Amino acid sequence: MKAFLRKTLQSIREYFLEMLFPRTCLICGKAGDWICYDCLTSIEIIEYQYCPFCKKRVFQEGTCSQHRNKNLNGLFFAVSYQDKIIQRLIKQYKYPPFLKELSFYFAFLIIAHFLASENKIILKDKASSLIIPIPLNIRKIKWRGFNQSQAIAQLLSEYLKISYSFNSLIKTKKTLSQTGLDREERAKNIANSFLIKNHQLIKDKTVFLVDDVVTTGATMEEAARVLKEVGAKEVWGIALARE
């Protein structure tokens, strides 16, 4: 019964969204879809990999020599958050009207980055890999209606044929928004806020953490720390954009 009610409410929400916000390109206004082909392909895809903790370009190592002691092995991100189109789309995604449908376009951009950068790490051992989204506090999920990282992670899992788990990494406490905090404040804010539920699923796996936007890397680094404590072999980040 609960599942039926949830599905019905979702259908009603989608109906009224379509009535209030008919599908026109959010960027140029062309009718048909939330992002037209021309606007989507005008977004510059990042072809290289950079250290998650600084701006140095790296190769297969994942981090620069200064940050090899970190728990996060590396970060793949598709676009720069400085892109005005991306900023506008993310605002429509994470804030009213909460256009979850944008998940498909964001997953597309991430996959385009994998192809452009000829990423081998994501494909090297799918059987021992696991995709996990960065979790949200339950209050934020109820407010938004979905976890944006989870929505993107599910699509990547389907495309890449890599196992996916949404409840192995959970958030145990409410934290302040990371927006507006400096690097040190972000690290303190997110410290000890994650918990692993299924240790055996994580053990000896290469874990790919998925988030929408990465700034200092503090959230992914903290998540990587608890994942490695229970036996994760490697932890890599995947994000749509990096500030």
Q: Is the CB of residue 210 less than 8 Å from the CB of residue 131? A: yes
pLDDT value of residue 17: 65
pLDDT in tens, 114-131: 998 888 788 788 889 999
* pTM (whole model) above 0.95: no
pLDDT in tens, 19-74: 666 789 999 999 889 999 999 999 999 999 999 999 899 987 899 999 999 999 99
The residue among 240, 210, 241, 211 whose CA lies nearest residue 108 is 240
pLDDT value of residue 157: 96
Give the CATH number of domain 46-242: 3.40.50
How would you label 156-173 residue by residue, b for 16+ Cβ within 10 Å and e otherwise? bbeebebebbbebbebee
pLDDT value of residue 124: 80
* Mean local confidence (pLDDT), 71-99: 96
pLDDT in tens, 185-221: 777 878 888 999 989 999 999 999 999 999 999 999 9
pLDDT value of residue 64: 95
Q: Where are the domains of the chain?
A: 1-42, 46-242
